[in-house]
Amino acid sequence: MPVRRRHGEPRRLVPAAAAIAVAAVAVVNIASALTPNASWRGRLLLQVEPIGAMKVFHALALPAGTLLLVAAFYLARRRRFAWAAALAALLALGVIDLVKGLDVEEAALSFAGAALLWWGRDSFHVRHDPVRLRSAAWRVPLVLAGTFAVAAVFVAAAAEGGGGVVRETISLLLWQPGRLSYTDELGYVPLAVHLLGVASIVVCIWLVLRPLAAPRSLPDPSLRRAAAELVRSHGGDTLAFFKLRQDIHYLFDAGRDAFVAYRVEGGVLLCSGDPVGAPASIPALVREAVAFAKERGLRLGAVGVSEEVAALFEQQGLRRFYLGDEAVVDTRAFSLEGRAIRKVRQSVTRLEKAGFTFALSELGALSEDELCQLESVTDAWLQGAHERGFTMAMDGLRGAHQSETLVAVARDAEQRVCGFLHFVPSYGRAAVSLSFMRRRPATPNGLTEFLVARSLEALRDRGVEHVSLNFAAFARFIHDPRSRVERLLGRIVSLGNPFFQIESLYRFNAKFSPAWVPRYLVYSGLLGLPRAGLAAAWAEGQLPKPFSRGRETAGSRHGR
């Protein structure tokens, strides 16, 4: 959990420092363009250039300064094209400052800003989409032409006399005083044209400086098959199977020997758990994922990462934050005997006396009617809300890739399905992972404990040695704090229990005496933790995403 200073970290501050410096230079130049030149400097310049040239360069200073001010925003986002545009604008402004009014101070600031950008050029690595740049080649002239046409209509309608509309429009768009006069009711037109010109510059810069985007379309069937094959070959991690969700993207290495599952949430490329694939390919894939995010101007985050993979991300300059523990039960040691588990034993006994039965089967062996009964239980539990999850749950029960998953079903005395658990396999090891815990709201208390206990026994009979149950967020802070800070965090976490079931979920898991396997949230940058945490909360459905109508507005549910 501690935040450590890493090698090369000062370089990460270059974009922010450059953005602030460039914005300051832009403000100085805009102020200079809007104020008259010093008369003695003007007289000196008249000896080497005509007054008409001075006016032209004075007029160019304002749009150039405006462009620089907008580009500063994108410099903070490490845009490579913004760096090139800002560098060119600073060099041009340095020359303009000298020839428009012999403004040596402003010129010195402009050239100093250009030197700073050149020194930190390696920090601006966000690429731009060539397709978008080509589209900007016709959209920018269209925006400029439209701006000029609208401004000219305003001037022609409002100016007295009606002559020289083109010259008047150009002057106003360049924030220069016009020659025409306007009636009192339409005296706002010059200011409106000024602002319209600035707005057009902002729109044009946005069109040009948009970054290379992450793919929006979900993987095609061939990529899904490739991911499924890698999960079958190398999916020993208990979270590997969850990467076969239908709402997730994949980043493969060049040889398709490994992949990362991810989604983009709030400007964060959020990876789901560990990469899956040949162990020798994982370190290079982690480096590629970091580069993939950087080129697109995205922060990188990874949720549910293991200790080993967190170390690989740390080698790339990222940080880790303890997120919680995965509860893994050893079925060989599990027993309903003993005082520690008496409450679970009582629940099992009570429900069996009430006529409840248990059955474990492969999902692919169920009939359509049986599958519909399970889905009706899910509908009753969610009460109209969407499924949620990202790292540690599937997004439904449908799909050929789920035929080998397991469902543990509880039926009442009338053989009506009252609840079920859904387990997904971990390949290469005798383990499964819990995906869903579902029950009808009116079922007796203890039904979930009944399902888990009988499932552990039935899975043991099938040769399954380890069962990954629910993920307990911040479990160590609650049951085994290692410092005063962690004890304080444990108390804070407990306050969120009514909303996120943090402590109650930990206590539920603890009933089955699991081993606690830590999982981490990996994030980038000094301030990347809250941003990655918010992205993870949106992806998992723990918090509603603003302005979203889709899956992110998920309802609450017990378990993963």
Residue where a domain stops, chosen among 209, 231, 257: 209
Tell me if 84 sits within 8 A of 71, measured CB to CB: no
pLDDT at 2 over 50: no
If one counts every other C-beta atom within 10 angstroms of the C-beta of residue 333, the result is 10
Please say which residue of 194, 209, 224 terminates a domain: 209
The pLDDT, as a whole number, for residue 400 is 80
Full DSSP string of 455-504: HHHHHHHTT--EEEEEEEETHHHHH---SHHHHHHHHHHHHTHHHH-HHH
* Max mean pLDDT range (7-21, 123-137, 486-500): 486-500
| Predicted local distance difference test score (pLDDT) of residue 522 | 95
| Residue 527 pLDDT class (50, 70, 90 cuts) | confident
Same domain, 78 and 177: no
pLDDT at 269 over 60: yes
| Distance separating alpha carbons of residues 246 and 551, to the nearest angstrom | 12
Bigger pLDDT: 341 vs 147: 341
Quick one: pLDDT at residue 468?
95
Q: How far apart are CA 505 and CA 325, in angstroms?
A: 11
Please say if the pLDDT value at position 430 is more than 80: yes
- Residue 44 has phi, psi (to 5 degrees) of -65, -45
In this structure, are 89 and 196 located in the same domain? no
Q: Does the pLDDT at position 221 exceed 80? A: yes
Q: Please name the residue that has the structure tokens 């889905």.
A: 375
Confidence band, pLDDT 50/70/90 cuts, at residue 461: very high
DSSP for 186-213, written as a single string: GTTHHHHHHHHHHHHHHHHHHHHHPBPP
Q: Which of 133-137, 284-288, 311-315 has the lowest mean pLDDT?
A: 133-137
Whether 163 is in a domain gets the answer yes
Band (pLDDT 50/70/90 cuts) for residue 223 is very high
pLDDT of residue 279: 93
User: What is the average pLDDT across 400-414?
Assistant: 91
* Number of domains within the chain: 3
Cα 533 versus chain centre, distance: 9
Structure confidence at residue 46 as a pLDDT band (50, 70, 90): low
Q: What is the mean pLDDT of residues 300-317?
A: 94
In a shared domain, residues 103 and 30? yes
Q: Tell me, what's the pLDDT at 199?
A: 78
Res 477: pLDDT: 82
pLDDT at 352 over 60: yes
pLDDT of residue 453: 95
DSSP bridge pairs for 269: 264, 300
Residue burial 125-137, b: 16+ Cβ < 10 Å; e: rest: ebebeeebeeebe
Among 276-280, 504-508, 523-527, the range with the most confident prediction by mean pLDDT is: 276-280
More confident residue, 385 or 83: 83
| Residue predicted with more confidence, 57 or 236 | 236
Q: Give the max Cα distance, the chain.
A: 107
Say how far apart CA 200 and CA 148 lie, in whole Å.
9
Distance of alpha carbon 452 from alpha carbon 309, whole angstroms? 30
User: Residue 288: inside a domain, yes or no?
Assistant: no
CB neighbours (10 Å) of residue 99? 19
Residues 362 and 390 in one domain: yes
**Who has greater pLDDT, 35 or 418?**
418
Cα–Cα nearest to 335, from 350, 325, 348: 348
Least confident interval from 227-231, 248-252, 296-300: 296-300
Decide if pLDDT at 494 tops 80. no
pLDDT at 3: 38
> Using one digit for the tens of pLDDT, what is the confidence trace for 163-180?
678 888 877 777 677 777
The segment with the largest mean pLDDT, out of 32-36, 70-74, 315-319, is 315-319
140: amino acid identity, one letter? V
> Are 135 and 106 contained in the same domain?
no
Mean per-residue pLDDT for 399-415?
90
- In this structure, of 48-62, 101-115, 296-310, 507-521, the range with the lowest mean pLDDT score is 48-62
Q: Is the pLDDT of residue 547 over 50?
A: yes
- In 3D space, the residue among 38, 89, 81, 83 whose CA is nearest the CA of residue 63 turns out to be 89
Whole-number average pLDDT of the chain: 82
Question: What is the β-pairing status of strands 268-272 and 299-305?
Answer: parallel
**Range name among 96-110, 372-386, 464-478 with the lowest pLDDT average:** 96-110
**Same domain assignment for residues 494 and 389:** yes
Q: Residue with structure tokens 């629910």?
A: 470
Residues 6+ away with beta carbon under 8 Å from 173: 147, 148, 151, 193, 194, 196, 197
Q: What's CA 186's distance to the chain center, in Å?
A: 47
pLDDT of residue 377: 92
Q: Are residues 108 and 177 in the same domain?
A: no
Helix, strand, coil percentages (3-state) for the chain, rounded to 5, are 55, 15, 30
Q: Comparing 208-212, 398-402, 451-455, 499-503, which segment has the lowest mean pLDDT?
A: 208-212
170 & 105 share domain? no
In this structure, the answer to whether residues 139 and 202 fall within a common structural domain is: yes
Phi, psi of 466 (to 5 degrees): -130, 140
In a domain, 541, yes or no: no
Whether the pLDDT of residue 239 is over 80: the answer is yes
Report if residue 437 sits inside a domain.
yes
pLDDT at 560: 38
Q: Are residues 379 and 508 both part of a single domain?
A: yes
The answer to whether residue 101 scores a pLDDT higher than 80 is: no
299 located within any domain: no
* Rounded Cα gap, residues 33 and 101, in angstroms: 10
Asked, for residue 229, whether it belongs to a domain, the answer is no
* Percentage of the chain modeled with pLDDT above 90: 36
Residue 553: is its pLDDT beyond 60? Answer: no
CATH of the domain at 461: 3.40.630.30
What proportion of the chain, given as a percentage, has pLDDT over 70?
Answer: 83
Q: Is the pLDDT of residue 215 over 90?
A: no
Cβ within 8 Å of residue 547, ≥6 positions away: none
Burial status of residue 373 (CB atoms within 10 A of its CB: 0-12, 13-18, 19 or more) = middle
Q: Which of 181, 209, 237 is the last residue of a domain?
A: 209
Q: Which residues pair with 516 in a beta bridge?
A: 327
Q: Is the pLDDT of residue 493 over 80?
A: no
Q: What is the mean pLDDT of residues 143-156?
A: 80
On whether both 488 and 512 belong to a single domain, the answer is yes
537 belongs to a structural domain: no
Q: Cβ-count burial of 305 within 10 angstroms (0-12 exposed, 13-18 middle, 19+ buried)?
A: buried
User: Do the beta carbons of residue 202 and residue 391 sit within 8 Å?
Assistant: no
The mean per-residue pLDDT over the stretch 297-325 comes to 92
Question: DSSP for 368-435?
Answer: HHHHHHHHHHHHHHHTTPBP--SSS--S-S-SGGGTT-EEEEEE-TT--EEEEEEEEEETTTTEEEEE
Domain extent at residue 337: 326-519
**DSSP secondary structure string, 295-350?**
HTT-EEEEEEE-HHHHHHHHHTT-EEEEEEEEEEEETTT--S-SSTTHHHHHHHHH
- pLDDT value at residue 326: 92
Which amino acid is it at 513? Answer: S
Residue 269's nearest CA partner among 280, 257, 261 is 261
Do residues 118 and 135 share a domain? no
Q: For residue 118, is it within any domain?
A: yes
H/E run at residue 535: helix 528-540
pLDDT given at position 31: 79
43 compared with 177, residue with greater pLDDT: 177
* pLDDT(6) > 60: no
